[in-house]
Amino acid sequence: DVKVTQSSRYLVKRTGEKVFLECVQDMDHENMFWYRQDPGLGLRLIYFSYDVKMKEKGDIPEGYSVSREKKERFSLILESASTNQTSMYLCASSSPGGGANEKLFFGSGTQLSVL
Amino acid sequence: GENVEQHPSTLSVQEGDSAVIKCTYSDSASNYFPWYKQELGKRPQLIIDIRSNVGEKKDQRIAVTLNKTAKHFSLHITETQPEDSAVYFCAASKLSNYQLIWGAGTKLIIKP
Closest CA to A9 of A90, A99, A65: A90
SS3 B49: strand
Number of inter-chain CB pairs under 8 A, A vs B: 64
Residue range A19-28: average pLDDT?
95
Residue range B10-29: average pLDDT?
96
Chain A residue numbers with beta carbons less than 8 Å from the beta carbon of B104 are 40-42
Res B95: pLDDT? 73
Inform me whether the pLDDT recorded for A36 exceeds 70.
yes
- Assess B97–A contact: CB distance below 8 Å, yes or no: yes
Q: Which residues contact B6 (CB under 8 A, 6 or more apart)?
A: A42, B21, B22, B23, B89, B90, B103, B104, B105, B106
Residues B61-99: pLDDT tens digits?
999 999 999 999 999 999 999 999 999 999 999 877 778
pLDDT band at A100 (very low <50, low <70, confident <90, very high): low
| Interchain pair A101, B97: CB under 8 A | yes
pLDDT band at A103 (very low <50, low <70, confident <90, very high): confident
Most confident of A24-33, A91-100, B19-28: B19-28
Res A101: pLDDT? 74
Q: CB of A78 within 8 A of CB of B31?
A: no
Q: Which residue of A has its CA nearest to B40?
A: A108
Chain B residue numbers with beta carbons less than 8 Å from the beta carbon of A46 are none
Residues A42-97: pLDDT tens digits?
899 999 998 898 999 999 999 999 999 999 999 999 999 999 999 999 999 987 66
User: What's the Cα-to-Cα distance from A108 to each of A89, B22, B24, rounded to whole Å?
Assistant: 9, 26, 28
- Assess A60–B contact: CB distance below 8 Å, yes or no: no
pLDDT band at A2 (very low <50, low <70, confident <90, very high): low
In angstroms, the CA A12 to CA A5 distance is 19
In angstroms, the CA A65 to CA B44 distance is 23
Best to test chain B binding among A94, A101, A102, A111 (most B CBs inside 10 Å): A101
- Assess B44–A contact: CB distance below 8 Å, yes or no: yes
